[in-house]
Amino acid sequence: MLSAACVTMFFISSIALYSVVSKNLLAVYPEWSSALTWAFPVFQTIMAVTGIFAGRISDKIGPRNVVIAAAACYGLGWFMSGTVTEPWQFYLWFSLVAAIGNGLGYNPALTTGQKWFIDKKGLASGITLAASTAGPAVLSPVLASLLIPSLGIFGALKALGVIFFVTIAASALFLKAPEAGWLPEGFEAPKGGAHAGTFGDLTPGEMVKTPRFWVLIVTFAFAATAGTLLVGKVASIAAVQLFADPTSAAAVALGGVVVSVNTCANLVGRLSFGQIIDKLGAYKSLLISLVVTIVALVIMSMSFTQAMFFVALALLGFSFGALLVIYPPLTGGAFGTSNIGVNYGIMFLGYAASTWISQPITAVLYHAEAGSAAYQQSFYGAIVIAAIAVVLTVYMMVSDSKKKSA
C-alpha cells in the first residue's frame, strides 16, 4: 500500500516542474510574462480546495477510484496544456483541470499510507513525501534535456500528460484503506481510542470550530512561505545575488545546480524528519524546522559567495521538506485520524495561502538588485513571517503541556 502511494506521489507531485515549463513557454510567448504571474498560486489554491473534497470522498469510498479520477484529470490537464495558444487556455487546462487532478490524488495517496501506519505516522508521511520530492528531481532533467529538445515544449507537455495518466492510474489499482477497526499487530491504542488525537477524533466541522485549528493553519501558511518562495524563484535569486549579470551563461548554468541542491536537501529533510517526528513529537519537530528556516534566511540574506549561498539553500530546502512531512501527522495527532483525509485537506489550505504571501516577496527579489534596500527588506519580511510561526508553535506546545497536566 505504501509503495503504491509512493508511486502516485512520485508522478502527481510534478508541479515542481512548473519552473521549467514556464521558462520554455515564455520563450515561445514572451508577451505572456505578466499574464501567467498567478498561474502557480491559482494551481495551488484549486489543488488545496479540491483536496478537501477528495479527502472526504476517499474516507467514505476508499482511495482507489478517487486516484483513478485524479489520473484522468491530471493527465488531461497536462496534455491539453500542450495545445494552448492563449494565456486563459493555460489557466483553464493547467491551473484548473490539472490542479483538480493533483488535489484528487495528492491527499488520498498521502493519508492512505498514514492509515496503515498509525503507530509510525511520521515515518509513513516522510517516506511518501520523499517520493513526491524524488519525482521532480528525476523528471526535471528528463523534461529539460530529453522531452523539450526532442518534442518542443508543447509536445513535451502532451507526452507528460500521457505518462502521468498511465502511471498514476496503474498505482491507484493497488491503493486500499484498511478496514474499520484494523490495528497494527502489537499496537496499543491510546485511552481516547486508536484514532483519537489531543482534542479528540473530530469531524471536519468540529475541527474548524477549535481555536487550535486556526492557530495551526496560520502557522502552516507562515512556515511555508520561505519554501514556496524557493520553488518559484530560487534560480533567479541566485542569479541576482551572485552575478553582476544575472543573464550570463554562468548564471543560467548555476540555476540548474541550485534547483538540484534544493531538491536534494528537501528530500533529505523529508526522510530525516519522518523519524524525528516519531521520536520527538510533531510540535518539537516543527519548532526545529522553523528555527533552521530563520537561520538559513539570515545566512542567505548575507550570502554573496556561492559557498555561503549553497549552505543557506541546503538548510532552507531541508527545513521546507521537513514542514510538509510534519503537518499530516500533526493534524492527525491534534484532531484524530478517522477523518484525516478531509481534515488535512482543509489544513493544506494554509500551504496554498503561502503561495499568495510569497508572490509579492518573490516579485521584489526578482526585480531588485542584490544588496539594495528592497532586496534586503524582502528577506527580512520572510524572516519576520517565520519568526511569528515560531512564536505560534511555542504557544501551542505550552498550551498542550498545560492541557495534559490538567
Beta strands in 151-302 (DSSP E): none
User: Is the separation of the CB atoms in 137 and 23 below 8 Å?
Assistant: no
The phi and psi torsions of 197 (rounded to 5 degrees) equal -105, -170
Quick check: 139 pLDDT over 70? yes
pLDDT(115) > 90: no
Q: 131 CB contacts (<8 Å, ≥6 apart)?
A: 5, 6, 7, 9, 10, 13
Please, which residues have CB within 8 angstroms of residue 257's CB and are 6 or more apart in sequence?
A: none
- The pLDDT of residue 377: 57
Q: Cα–Cα distance between 366 and 350 in angstroms, integer?
A: 24
Return d(Cα 73, Cα 12) in angstroms, integer.
11
In this prediction, what percent of the chain has a pLDDT beyond 90?
A: 17
Separation between Cα atoms, residue 110 and residue 138, nearest integer Å: 20
Angle at CA of residue 103, ends 21 and 225, nearest 5°: 65
Q: Is the pLDDT of residue 306 over 80?
A: yes
d(CA 326, CA 324): 6
Query: What's the pLDDT tens digit per position in 335-369?
Result: 887 777 788 888 888 888 887 776 666 656 555 55
User: Could you give all domains of the chain from N- to C-terminal order, each with its CATH number?
Assistant: 1-178 (1.20.1250.20), 195-405 (1.20.1250.20)
Question: What does the alpha-carbon distance between residue 275 and residue 200 come to, in Å, rounded to a whole number?
Answer: 24
CA distance 313 to 310: 5
Task: Express as a percent the part of the chain with pLDDT over 70.
Answer: 83
Q: How far apart are CA 315 and CA 100, in angstroms?
A: 32
Q: Over 70: is that where the pLDDT of 134 sits?
A: yes
Per-residue pLDDT tens over the stretch 169-203? 999 998 887 776 667 676 665 555 545 667 788 88
List beta partners, residue 274.
none
Tally Cβ neighbours within 10 Å of residue 83. 12
Q: What is the pLDDT of residue 160?
A: 92
Q: Specify whether the CB–CB gap between 377 and 364 falls below 8 A.
A: yes
What is the pLDDT of the chain when averaged over all its residues? Answer: 80
Residue 126 has pLDDT above 90, yes or no: no
